[in-house]
Structure 1
Amino acid sequence: MQALSATPRTGLVPWPGLLLAVSLITFWSPPTSAQLAIVPTFAAEGSDVIMRIKNKPPNAESYVCDRILVNNDGSLVIKRVTLKHTGDYTIVVHLQNGRKEIGFGRLTVYEPLRVPTLLASNTSVTENKDAVEFTCYTNGITTHWLFNAVRLKLTDRMKLSPDNRVLTIDPVRREDAGSYQCEVSNPQSSTESWPVELNVKYE
């Protein structure tokens, strides 16, 4: 008996290829619905938080989370959160057919943002002779710098510390004279320091 062969004329599939195709059909299954999850949530310390879930199964019967209260719609509720509430949360959804789905999500709690304090090493300096260092004291997550109420454009004479909280200008020039502020923020809010005026003397 002549063996099967594959040529462009006959359109037959070689046996190894046919076996591979059968294997793929056997083990492949259509993708399931999107994964149940808790929406990542950010909150200020002391606030009330509702953590919602996404991709909720349509045949859910009940929701369980060991750490907090769960509403009928699957949302998770925490009253007056503290920094200790920061962490990963797990929700278990019991389905009508006796199965269950598990979802995960993270809550991050921040301290209320305080108005930053801006200090300068010197506020009256001489052009091309002195340097000045501004330090922003804050509990914020990110720090930006303002010059005369607009975002500061750094020059080659300006350097920032790795956390952006210290601005050094060396040497100072007359165009650096003006009002400086640090603007700080976390995912919940932002605020600015009181301005510090830098005076530059020149001849």
Structure 2
Amino acid sequence: MELSSAPLHKGQLLWRGLLLAASLLIYWSSPTTAQISVEEVPPHVDEGENALLLVHNLTETPRVFYWFKGKNEDKKNEIARFITSTNVTRTGPAYSGRETIYRNGSLLFQNVTLNDSGPYMLKISMQNYDARKILVLFHAHPNSL
């Protein structure tokens, strides 16, 4: 955008002022307003490949990350948990031996199978004992070879 040396009209001043205000609000917005999210990396994974459910927008260090296969936190569906204060991982009944949970709560699947497809739930227990839950739909595709 080029700046002009011509005098600005009243409407142009108002428009530029609104743009400046919007830009400053975006720049100054608090990171705590960002929602925790999970991204599938890569977004399209074939059977036999590795996939990462990557956690984004953590604004504080949680107490515990829990991963479950399915839409709820049924203990028999727990894959693993990571306890941040002790850096300890505990595996659950749904652990296949191909999953790795990381310090940031992300979950790695090695050698993905079609059976890995489906919903997963990440439960995050925060320092103040509040819990946040994120539901992720993971889909593995048949190997196209």
2:37 is matched with: 37
Equivalences, count: 83
Matched, 1:80 2:80: no
Alignment of 1:94-109 (within 5 A): 94-109=125-140
In structure 1, C-alpha distance between the alignment counterparts of 2:121 and 2:100, rounded to whole Å:
12
Amino acid of the residue matched to residue 102 of structure 2?
N
Alignment of 1:41-190 (within 5 A): 41-65=43-67, 66-67=78-79, 68-114=99-145
Amino acid of the residue matched to residue 132 of structure 2?
E
In structure 2, C-alpha distance between the alignment counterparts of 1:57 and 1:92, rounded to whole Å:
15
User: TM-score, normalising length from structure 1?
Assistant: 0.37
Q: Secondary structure at the residue paired with 2:115?
A: helix
Contact 1:42–1:107 (8 Å) recurs in 2: no
Q: Which residues of structure 2 form unaligned runs of 5+?
A: 1-31, 68-77, 80-98
RMSD of aligned residue pairs (Cα, Å): 1.9
Greater strand content: 1
Amino acid of the residue matched to residue 144 of structure 2?
L
Deviation track 1:59-98 (CA, whole Å, cap 9, x = no partner) reads 3122111235421111111121101111111101111111
Runs of 4+ in 1 over 4 A off after TM superposition: none
User: TM-score, normalising length from structure 2?
Assistant: 0.50
In structure 2, C-alpha distance between the alignment counterparts of 1:58 and 1:42, rounded to whole Å:
30
Greater helix content: 2
In structure 2, C-alpha distance between the alignment counterparts of 1:64 and 1:57, rounded to whole Å:
17
Deviation track 1:154-192 (CA, whole Å, cap 9, x = no partner) reads xxxxxxxxxxxxxxxxxxxxxxxxxxxxxxxxxxxxxxx
Contact 1:39–1:54 (8 Å) recurs in 2: yes
Computing the radius of gyration from Cα coordinates, the structure with the larger value is: 1
Q: Secondary structure at the residue paired with 1:39?
A: strand
Q: Secondary structure at the residue paired with 1:52?
A: strand
In structure 2, C-alpha distance between the alignment counterparts of 1:106 and 1:77, rounded to whole Å:
15
Contact 1:39–1:106 (8 Å) recurs in 2: no
